[in-house]
Amino acid sequence: MRIFDLALKDLSQIFRDKKSLLFLVAMPIIFTVFMGLAYRNGGSDAQADDRIPLAVVNPEPDALLNNALFARLETSDSMRVVGMNEADAMDALRKGDVAGVLVIPAGFSVKSLEGETAQLTLISDPISVQGQSLYQLLRSPVTQLMSAVEISWASVELVNAKDTSAEQIAAFELAWSKWNAAALIPLVKIEQAIAEPTSDWTGGNPFNQSSPGILVMFAIFGLVTSGQILVQERKSRTLQRLITTAMQPWQIVAGHMLAMFAITFLQTTMLVIFGQLVLKVDYLREPLGIFLLAVSVGLWVASLGLLIGVVAKEEQQVILFSMVAMFLFSALGGAWFPLETSGGAFAAIGRLLPSAWAMTGFQNILIRGLGLGSVWTAVGVIFAYAIFFFVLAIWRFKKMEA
């Protein structure tokens, strides 16, 4: 109960400050609308084909399985498939002309039909948004292709045909045609995302970028007031007196962090509701995924705020450190613009930040139309950052206590 009492004390101090509500509520909404309008005006010249470019190395294009898979991938509304040799494909990947390279090994069709293991290889940046999307998009057609091979083997065993090769090919072609027909009838959730491709990178709604971007940006800046409370307690000797009470040091840290998490989570929830109802950003398309992202972002930001609070010596330092963190994580993490539009070291560094993983998770749901499975990696990475900052804050707090 002492932890909750301390958290409630912090929250009451924050909400008594009317100026804090300006930054927690009004400013994020104003910036979200402003940035969304800027994306709308700047996206009118976007290319019509916004599918993810994929190079396919297909050494045996006339082979049965190779031809079947390549033909299916060419019909994708989410991938733009380009056939290349391996050297050209890898060169295009290095230049950023394609987001990934799918290598079909020599003998893939024959080996698969004979029951041998023949593995496809996807070469891409595993931490990039497009790399993760390609992996998700390729899973279904590849799984269906191999299931059609299994069905063909089962058919041969069932009829005990003399000409097993002809029977297997006929069974495979029949099973594959059924998969192709089924692929034309997408699930309801996927239909709106990829069956009607939009002409701009925001998925048809510029607020799909600005709403989560400003959400991440102001979640960090919202820690200014929370961090200042820790500094004020230390300057007034309140924190030192708390240490001498029955409360354990971890309880003091947990209480302050709980208040910071509550502020961040409440602000995130408010911006999600505003985005859903006013800006038509479809957060509720995958509510559990959005909830997990909100919780992980809240824990990461609260841990960062706790670290700022125990490191800063003056209220002005809290503001300075929070501003630096906000601009650093926002600019490099893709909160202002997608990292795909930048390149080189800027994008490489940006993809390592927790803010970039948060944006990846939100964009996978809001722009790419992916499901819950597309956010687990992002949530895990953000949780790892939360633990890292929390451990640093505990270490710093113990030094301060000593």
- Determine the Cα–Cα distance for residues 178 and 192; give it in Å rounded to an integer: 23
**Are residues 217 and 87 part of one domain?**
no
Residues 277, 245 share a domain: yes
Q: Is the pLDDT of residue 274 over 70?
A: yes
Q: Does the pLDDT value for residue 264 go beyond 80? A: yes
% the chain with pLDDT above 70: 73
Q: Are residues 223 and 189 both part of a single domain? A: no
pLDDT at 295: 92
Burial of 320 (0-12, 13-18, 19+ CB in 10 A): middle
Residue pair 301/54 in contact by the 8 Å Cβ criterion? no
pTM comes to 0.57
- Radius of gyration of the CA atoms of the chain, in A: 26
124: three-class secondary structure by DSSP: strand
Of 160, 195, 230, the one marking the end of a domain is: 195
Q: Identify whether residues 330 and 207 lie together within a single domain.
A: yes
CA distance 110 to 104: 12
Q: Please, what is the average pLDDT of the chain? A: 78
Do both 133 and 219 map to the same domain? Answer: no
Task: Give me the numbers of helices (H) and strands (E) for the chain, helices first please.
Answer: 18, 4
Instruction: Pull the structure tokens for residue 47.
Output: 């290319």
Which strand ranges, in their side-by-side order, compose the sheet holding 79-84?
79-84, 52-57, 100-103, 121-124
Least confident of 13-27, 326-340, 358-372: 13-27
Q: Is the pLDDT higher at 1 or at 151?
A: 151
Three-class secondary structure of residue 83 per DSSP: strand
Which of 44-58, 243-257, 333-347, 370-384 is predicted most confidently? 370-384
pLDDT of residue 293: 92
- CA contacts within 13 A on the Cβ side of 36: 22
Domain identity same for 147 and 15: no
The predicted structure's pLDDT at residue 377: 92
- Report the pLDDT averaged over residues 263-268: 85
What confidence tens digit (pLDDT) does each residue in 391-401 have? 888 887 776 65
Q: Name the percent of the chain lying above pLDDT 90.
A: 8
Last residue of a domain, one of 134, 163, 195: 195
pLDDT bucket at 44, cuts 50 / 70 / 90 = very low
Q: Cα–Cα distance between 258 and 348 in angstroms, integer?
A: 33
Q: Give the pLDDT of residue 292.
A: 94
Residue-level pLDDT at 402: 53
- Domain identity same for 328 and 376: yes
Please state which of the ranges 64-73, 128-137, 233-242, 263-272 shows the lowest mean pLDDT: 233-242
Collapsing DSSP to helix, strand or coil, 114 comes out as: coil
Which comes out higher in pLDDT, residue 388 or 341? 388
Query: What domain range includes position 149?
Result: 52-195
pLDDT digits (tens, 9 = 90+) for 215-263: 888 887 766 666 676 776 666 666 656 655 656 666 777 777 787 888 8
Same domain, 217 and 356: yes
Q: Domain containing 103 — which CATH number?
A: 3.40.1710
pLDDT at residue 143 is higher than 80? yes
Do 191 and 212 fall into the same domain?
A: no
Domain co-membership, 245 together with 352:
yes
Q: Are residues 230 and 376 in the same domain?
A: yes
pLDDT at 215: 86
Is residue 189 pLDDT above 70, yes or no? no
Q: Please tell me the distance from the alpha carbon of residue 329 to that of residue 301, in angstroms, as a whole number.
A: 11
pLDDT at 388: 92
Domain count, the chain: 2
Where is the domain boundary, 195, 230, 258? Answer: 195
User: 311 and 382: one domain?
Assistant: yes
